[in-house]
Structure 1
């Protein structure tokens, strides 16, 4: 039972103004047949991140079909919560609408950054995306006083929306390491959210200090989450829940994905996205440099130890 790596799929060649470097946080949406649109974040010459896409044939020998020549979301106007860049989170498709949940950046002075969660919507994956609001749908609060990051949103049914997101439990000031865990919020409409600030998934040991970019999917009657766990370096960790997301059990050794022996993901693995295609479970993820070397795919082979 393991992930079979299918190799590097896409990396920025530096030629597009909005994508001088990085292809981070790949997020798939099925278009037709074996073709998926992977939304991802890239940085311009000023290191501000934008969201664009690349279309990939998802199979045992994946290949790129097309790439966006312009971003579908750029940093917001000066003074807004996402004026310093936007990081891809997750995509939810419902009848007649595609919703992108993303992280917006502000650069700080006494602390290096502030993050919040925003929403943009379109009538189709290839349509124009429009922000729901100039402001975030989920911002700092008594439950999350420091920062919020990389949301994963699923709709379980009418009036039952779930979000898993990252949040600092202590301020990241100076050279101090962040203490970044995964929390959960709920909504009846995918726009207005309630949260209690409780940690859903915390650290496995003293070496860990940041858990980021959760990705959740259903496997039978259980929920499987993959996420980036940071200690000496990032690696992809995993957890499972048998009670609809209330309690989680770490499955790092069974379903995690560490660095490879050589190549584009030999230093780290991070920013996973789980998805199903043709009754098989796939994993899109970044490797070295938090997306500098692009993103690749892996395919789960074997039973699920949930």
Structure 2
């Protein structure tokens, strides 16, 4: 069996170091993210690894894993047993997965990955500009062997996630928002399609709910949306977006972006069809956790390499 169309058959890492600066969506703090090449063949850790630093000192090192995921409002966070973590990792994880960067060290000097323009497009462009180096090891995929379903709510409020066997990475995502109607995106996910159709979609939310959320966050001591601006979100007022939408179905495409980033906690692209109705960070995590906690529902897959496919 050949590898799914559009994907390479060997692992890769960054061709060189890249750095992006910005502010956090929730903390509002300035942060620098420094991405470094990594190769397990030379003794580096496998996969994507986050390292929190301060004043030249390492605070913690976090390998991407569902076991380190902690529930946070409106984002995905990895945190160690001492409470030190990195939040809002989903856009970067999605861009690295779709950029076929299987191994890298992500060093950050604050708690949150920079939100940039609210999408994954700046990460995709930075990775493309940086370049990718193919490694000797065959690329690993997670092949789903039987269906797994998670649900929350019922009737009109039902949130449902389903993952089942497929020969490639397929997604069918539905979401609705008052004033904008039902939106749906479906297709086979490839690195090229992610870059063109999914990565430009931005985080979004209603301005009238942002201020109460910010205040509630201050009262609880949890930073929420302190860095939200029209420059880094699709800010909704009534039934319109300030400055307009990038595409008519931008909201559901951003749900796809978050879903791909959250499922990247598994550590590899999926060979599966994922069907999601009203996905959320919590439901995305529940799905991948349920899959990986069911040993007979998945397996690692590798593929023979055609000449030069690195």
Taking structure 1 as the reference length, the TM-score comes to: 0.26
Higher RCO (CA < 8 A, seq sep 6+): 2
- Greater strand share, 1 or 2? 1
Q: Name the larger-Rg structure.
A: 2
TM-score by length of 2: 0.26
Counting helix residues as a fraction of each chain, which structure ranks higher?
2
